[in-house]
Amino acid sequence: MFDTMTMTKVLGGLCGTWLVYLLGAWAAESIYHSGGGHGDDHAQAYVIEVADAGGEAAAEEEAVDFSVIMASASAEEGEALWRNCRSCHALEPGKNGTGPTLHGIVNRAVGSVDGFGYSGALVAVAETWTPDNLNLFLEDPKGYAPGTAMGYNGMRKVEDRANLIAYLESVGG
């Protein structure tokens, strides 16, 4: 049943079908493609002038001292933000998860939890987990400590970071 002639016909049919498909795609591209002038050799037809919106200085937010924000932080609101951390970290002393325990993290030496294998990137950027260092790390972990193994994208609101740090400080003693 499967002799050489049958296999040749099947292979020829598949190649012929593929050829018809490619020719159809080429024909459709030449019929329906309208160009669009996306290359560098096409000039722009017109330019729309817009008024200056106040420059870059108005777009940037003024930097506020983190200690001022930290002074008004709420540990109760930080407890709700803890849900982002508890999948990898624990608050119990000596209990490590995917990440090290966060018990007593505020003002603790960086990379000092016994029995946890740190990546080494954190020790290069800070010596102690001060509230300021925690704020910078929680904002953008990979930007603050390139090479860190922490797979968290960061907490964008500075008030949320302050509340979380206040919560960690309140439960970590």
How large is the average pLDDT for residues 88-117? Answer: 89
pLDDT in tens, 23-64: 999 998 888 876 555 555 556 666 777 776 555 544 444 567
Enter the pTM of the model: 0.63
Query: Residue 45 has what pLDDT?
Result: 65
pLDDT in tens, 87-96: 889 999 888 8
Listed residue (172, 173, 161) closest to 73, CA to CA: 161
Tokens of 80: 């709700």
CA atoms within 13 A on the CB side of 62: 2
CB 100 within 8 A of CB 113: yes
